[in-house]
A and B are shown apart, each in its own frame.
Chain A
Amino acid sequence: MVAWVVQSTGEIQKLVIKEEISVALQTLNFEFQAETPETMTKEWSHLGVTGSGDLEVLMEKKNLGGKVQAKVVTPVKGFDEVWRRMLGKFVNDCQVGDVSIEINDDNATPIVVYMRLRQAWAESSEKEAE
């Protein structure tokens, strides 16, 4: 990142910070393949709010050769494996394919993640709302 620092002399100095600041958000990327995948009916669907203990999910239909791509942006560290398993469980339970999933998370527990994914999936497959 780039920061501008005002010196005591009044001079403005450009500061380039190369290292990622440790508090920064994390981005995790995953890929999954279900056995008999089916894709969604709508082009895209969105559900949820990035509230404390919650998350938002954006699903988009995308030609991925039957695979599912997932991107998670979260402030929580050390849960990469939990995310991998939870998303994998969802893809497997619902046999999801050719979908890109993007999640903005704020400390959601695994069950909240799973429930939101199931809700988003149900919505992405229902007939167009009035």
Chain B
Amino acid sequence: MEFKSTRREWNTLQKDTLERKSAADQYVKEGKIVDAKDTVALLETVIKPYDKVNIEGNNQKQADFLAKKLCEVDPSKVHDLHMVQSVLTLPEHLDVFEKGIAKKLDMSFSGPQAGRIAQFLQEKKLELGAIHTYLELYGRYFVDLTPKVALVAATMADRDGNLFTGFSTEDTPVIVEATKFRQGIVVAQVNKIVDKLPRVDIPGDWVDYVIESPKPFYIEPLFTRDPALITDAQILKAMMAIKGIYGEYGVERLNHGIGFDTAAIELLLPTYGEELGLKGKICKHFILNPHPTLIPAIESGWVESVHSFGGELGMEDYVAARSDVFFVGPDGSMRSNRAFSQTAGHYAIDMFIGGTLQIDPYGNSSTATASRVAGFGGAPNMGCDAKGRRHSTAAWLKVGDEYALKDQLYGPVRRGKRLVVQIAETFREKLAPGFVEELDAFALAKNAKLPIEPVMLYGDDLTHIITEEGIAYLHKCGSMEERTAAIRGIAGFTEVGMKADPKETKRLRTAGIIKTPDDLGIDIGRANRSMLAAKNVHELVEWSHGLYNPPAKFRNW
């Protein structure tokens, strides 16, 4: 048999890139530097119709200048782009669709732009590939969604294109690696071009062009929660979480979702946690952005390590001064890295705990609403039982041993289980119910013609729900019927809770599947703001010995 090669050329990608780059040579001033005023011309030269393009849009850091300039290219030259990016935050991220520059989208999360995505889908201005988790999308960067051109953001660059991404590294390494090693083109906007970088985070060989943007990149202090806004009900749930879950299982390694519920838990560790004698037994290792509300727990010696997805505005100096706890480079500043943090969050922690908008009677929970295509970012990777995990810890084994379905599913093999915990108030502000018979995700799937309902955490992964009424230990339920009864039993006076059978709820309490604050020995009268280790942002600054430098919008002094 004769083997015949199907093609003569095996470096077309590289050739294409070299052609584009030589056409763009005219815009390069010195080394790899391109003047900001030539950005649009550069983009029109290096981007071709139908390219896969990434605008670095992270949870926090944004390549905002390049996003704006991409909107200014001539749609007759650059059109039908396929945008592949983790987060859509800025209006420009969708303006490219409005202007006919881009056509298709694959993404993870879209906070403020979620309503517009739904609208564009209806108007057929946009084709949606899929809504991924972060890790899933990063994975696909190396399979079938590799960017041809990446528009990234860094803090500083030198003339050779070496980048310093520092405290706010986030997605940059994974985007650049996928793009460059598949012969793509990397354009970086930087706040400043310097002679010598504090450290090199991305080697210049992987970067084609650097542009000093007129303004530093936009960054949002997304994870800062002002303790002054924490309510008594949040403090009650935090007390229940610490006593009924953290203490009960001895959870040492964990991730906290964003929000006031987890901020309350962080601020109760040095007070209520201390009182329960849990110091050294729980909360030793976090996968977490540098939450300012974690400062009192760190300062009082609870926390051994924190690895972060991204930075948090104002926490730079504090983090740098606590290199025993945070991951800090030889230059003295932290390096975040979302891909590694997400990996750690998926495999190396024992618990995810966070808030949600809706939970159904099966334990599925979602933040999706009927008219917004938002995605869930990293939550599904944290909030699931990682099936590939093969190391064990006490907390993980305890949940596995308590798992009521283990005999039916596992046979004689001993396995552990991740704690996946949702905190919900039965009614939120404006009396919106936290428990519903059908998730809004179903209506959204129908409205936006999605093949699957956008569920954040699946019911079979969820092990615990905390409401002000009690904790439901769902992994202890032997059937869907029992699980639903447990959920109804803590759903208060929502439509889901109203259907609870008081006798069944009582039985579940006896069986230890539902525990009310009384069952946990928690005095509701103590659940008030005097329990917080810091009651406002100013007290966080004091705890930090003046190292935390809160953004202006959080300074009421």
Contact = CB atoms under 8 A, between A and B. Distances in A.
Direct A–B touching, Cβ under 8 Å: yes
Contacts of A85: 493
Contact of A110 (B236, B492, B525): B492
A51 B410 CA distance: 53
B275 interface: no
A104 B524 CA distance: 22
Interface in A68-101: 76, 79, 81-82, 85-86
Contacts of B430: 107
Interface in B408-445: 425-431
A109 B524 contact: no
Interface of chain A: mostly helix, strand, loop or mixed: helix
Interface stretch (A19-27, A57-65, A111-119): A111-119
A85 B425 CA distance: 17
Contact of B236 (A53, A76, A111, A122): A111
B505 to A, nearest CB: 12
A interface residue count range (under 10 / 10 to 19 / 20 to 34 / 35 or more): 10 to 19
Given A110-B492, A115-B232, A115-B233, A53 B429 contact: yes
A53 B432 CA distance: 12
Given A53-B429, A79-B431, A82-B493, A109 B233 contact: yes
B34 interface: no
Nearest to B427: A109
A105 to B, nearest CB: 11
B527 interface: yes
B236 A109 contact: no
A115 B517 CA distance: 12
Interface in B216-255: 231-233, 236
A122 B525 contact: yes
B158 interface: no
Contacts of B427: 109-111
B404 to A, nearest CB: 29
Contacts of B492: 110-111
A58 B429 CA distance: 23
B233 A112 contact: yes
Contacts of B468: 111, 114
Interface string B457-497: 00000000000110000000000000000000000110000
Nearest to A53: B429
Contacts of B431: 76, 79, 107, 109
Among A85, A86, A109, A115, which residue has the most Cβ atoms of chain B within 10 A?
A109
B407 to A, nearest CB: 37
B525 A112 contact: no
Nearest to B468: A111
Contacts of A109: 233, 425-429, 431
Contacts of A81: 493, 498
Interface in B338-376: none
Contacts of B429: 53, 107, 109
B470 to A, nearest CB: 11
A86 B468 CA distance: 13
B527 A115 contact: yes
Contacts of B233: 109, 111-112, 115
Contacts of A115: 232-233, 236, 524, 527
B232 A110 contact: no
A53 B428 CA distance: 10
Contact of B232 (A79, A82, A86, A112): A112
B399 to A, nearest CB: 27
A86 B493 contact: yes
Among A85, A110, A119, A122, which residue has the most Cβ atoms of chain B within 10 A?
A110
A74 to B, nearest CB: 11
Nearest to B467: A111
A78 to B, nearest CB: 9
Nearest to B469: A111
Nearest to A52: B429
Contacts of A107: 429-431
Interface of A: 53, 76, 79, 81-82, 85-86, 107, 109-112, 114-115, 118-119, 122
Interface of B: 231-233, 236, 425-431, 468-469, 492-493, 498, 524-525, 527
12 contacts: A53-B231, A79-B431, A107-B429, A110-B492, A110-B493, A111-B427, A111-B469, A111-B492, A112-B233, A115-B232, A119-B525, A122-B525
Report the 10 A-B pairs with minimum CB-CB distance, sorted nearest first: A111-B468, A109-B427, A82-B493, A111-B233, A118-B524, A122-B525, A110-B493, A85-B493, A110-B492, A115-B232
